[in-house]
Amino acid sequence: MSTTIFIFNGPNLNLLGTREPEIYGTTTLAEIDAACVAKAREHGLSVDFRQSNHEGVLVDWIHQAHKAKARAIIINAAAYTHTSIALLDAAKAVTPPVIEVHLSDPHTREEFRHKSYIGEAAVACFKGKGLQSYLDAIDAVAAL
């Protein structure tokens, strides 16, 4: 088994730091990436951190993580969380455990955000703690 955790980020997360800071905070995606790399290193793990605004790219990356025998996949599917059966099917089709993360807590927001398709395949979900949601997910991977 690989020591690499693949961390995938969905649409609009490239705008973190300036996008709706009252919901998502002011931490940038680059800062989240750096913090995840440092946290993984504490556990003797590495991170492959990526972001795409395109659903099919995210599906392809899940397949790549499977082929690479990833330790785990951590995914913040963003808006695709609530709409993408394709991401659900991809997550169900691979062997690395999938962990869902969210900066905010979707269940405290609009009704349409309460449904998580990716959550149906995830072994755990960390939400509502900003950057800490990602770090908690990495700790969970290390404990697997």
* Residues annotated within a binding site: 76, 82, 89, 103-104, 113
- Known binding site for substrate: residues? 76, 82, 89, 103-104, 113
What's 82-102 look like in SS3? HCCHHHHHHHHHCCCCEEEEE
Which one from 24, 80, 117, 134 is the annotated catalytic residue? 24
Give residue 3's Cα distance to chain centre.
Answer: 17
Helix, strand, coil shares of the chain, percent, nearest 5, are 50, 20, 35
Among this protein's residues, is 102 annotated catalytic?
Answer: yes
Query: DSSP string of 109-125?
Result: S-GGGS--SGGGT-SEE
Among this protein's residues, is 107 annotated catalytic?
Answer: no
- Yes or no: say if 120 and 81 are a contact pair by the CB < 8 Å rule: no
- Calpha distance 41→62 (Å, rounded): 22
- Calpha distance 105→81 (Å, rounded): 12
Which one from 80, 102, 117, 134 is the annotated catalytic residue? 102
**Catalytic sites, residue numbers:** 24, 102
